[in-house]
Structure 1
């Protein structure tokens, strides 16, 4: 009988150990073991630019017929981050010619943008309230949407080729100010 009790005891100990190991493994959807599990966004560190916008590399782009502002992106400032964020300097010019420069980022996966800082009094000032905001489609000054649709995003994925981004920003072929349509020509997202 003692041999049977020892066998049952060993069996019980093995079952308890197996249950503990299974519990430690956790849910594959939460542990990251499941390749189909949703990815959690982790933003990399962002440093403010060291210099003002480069006037010689500013490229104007079309936003919408209802805007009164002119928008330009500093093509030398564009960086395609490994964290999925494309960062850039945008220069906004009002009708009287005054300019405002901003350092921003766009996430294609969530279709959001973030204002990292502004260029004021000859230096970059970090935005202490920087947070991810939805890109607005139905506003006159929809420049983040124009950049995302026209150059920085390939649908909901970040464009990885700087060459493709630069070709897309070409004023003769830039499509960021147009509404996206499906293969039947039906306007989507509006």
Structure 2
């Protein structure tokens, strides 16, 4: 009789312990902590760079055979944000040698880009009408797509390791002119 009583007591203790754990978690609809709810994007604050791009850390990258401009990113300016945005300075050089310098950000989760400001006469000017735009992969000067697919994103996730990004931007490792594939050879979305 003692063994059966101990067995019943063990089962009862396990049930009470399980009920206690369930009670501690609470109702996700009441607590607002639904683990299956979609994440809401909240962009962090973005400050303009303090300096123009550093010529010694400019890394040119390939965009497409139809690209008219030459594109470079200042590797010292790359910031991997906790908000899921990778921010960077890009330098676009026309065939005549004129340059446009912009401070931009890329979101890998939504495959979007945003311009934060331009370098005008040696000073950064914020872009007041800046908004998130879809990255277009089908234009000759598709440098945002090249950066996202070749270095800043790992499919639809932000690359968090700066060494991986810098290695990917190198001329021997850059794959920005191709769409990444998974291990089955299927194109990523």
SS where residue 173 of structure 1 aligns?
coil
Report deviation, 1:173.
Answer: 1.3
**Closer, same or farther in 2 for the Cα pair 1:155/1:32, shift >3 Å?**
farther
Q: Deviations over 1:1-43 (max 9, x none)?
A: xxxxxxxxxxxxxxxxxxxxxxxx7846xx6411121000000
Question: What RMSD in Å do the two structures reach over aligned CA positions?
Answer: 1.7
CA offset digits 1:76-133 (Å, max 9, x no partner): 0000000000000000000001111000000001110000000011100000001100
Determine the C-alpha separation between the residues in 1 that align with 2:32 and 2:44: 19
Residue 181 of structure 1, CA deviation: 3.6
Which residue number corresponds to residue 110 of structure 2? 110
Unaligned runs of 5+ residues in structure 1 are 1-24
The residue that corresponds to 2:139 in the other structure is 139
Q: What is the TM-score with the length of structure 1 in the denominator?
A: 0.81
Structure 2 unmatched runs, 5+: 1-26
The reply to whether residue 164 of structure 1 matches residue 177 of structure 2 is no
User: Structure 2 matches for 1:18-97, cutoff 5 A?
Assistant: 27=29, 32-97=32-97
- Give the aligned partner of residue 175 of structure 1: 175
Residue 11 of structure 2 is matched in structure 1 by none
Counterpart-to-counterpart distance in 1, 2:111 and 2:122:
31
Query: How many Å separate the matches in 1 of 2:159 and 2:175?
Result: 15
